[in-house]
Structure 1
């Protein structure tokens, strides 16, 4: 599906800075035959070099496992960081992410649909 990790990066950008793929897709885009420890390490380094983060942090060795890839510095990256690194300030970020404008818009939609 992806001919290179640069293609994966473009797909992440095209999908609003987040994309979930199978490990086999990353392996194939990297041009490797197996998911050995060095291949996984090199895929991770290459993704970081392209400005991408991934979860799980340690890429799995099973080709069918799903990996979430996101653009570093994006709002999604901030949410991922807030979830993975617990702190009071990150709690506030998470509350804000699910509150604020999103909640107001949802309330307006409910008002229009339910009344």
Structure 2
């Protein structure tokens, strides 16, 4: 399984990458929404974790762009954020995110996201 981690904070991206790799995922990291869209043009990913607060293109904008492209219809997209208030959760679902992962994260949090991914794929 291949995951794309998108976060402008290198430490946050590295942490989630380590957890995903422990769970058997191949991981690529990029630092912006537009870099994520470029990566998705050339590589097949099963899951994308998008930080919501990035300069130039937010995670929400990147998710909406992905959802508008039929080539990415089945892609599992996770909002990766430090903000998890109820109204933000509703906005993320409306933008097309499948799930919300709240920072700071733990291994158990990332495993739960992966478990949901596999349950959906079954």
Give the TM-score normalised by structure 1. Answer: 0.28
Higher helix share: 1
Structure of higher CA gyration radius: 1
Higher strand share: 2
Give the TM-score normalised by structure 2. Answer: 0.27
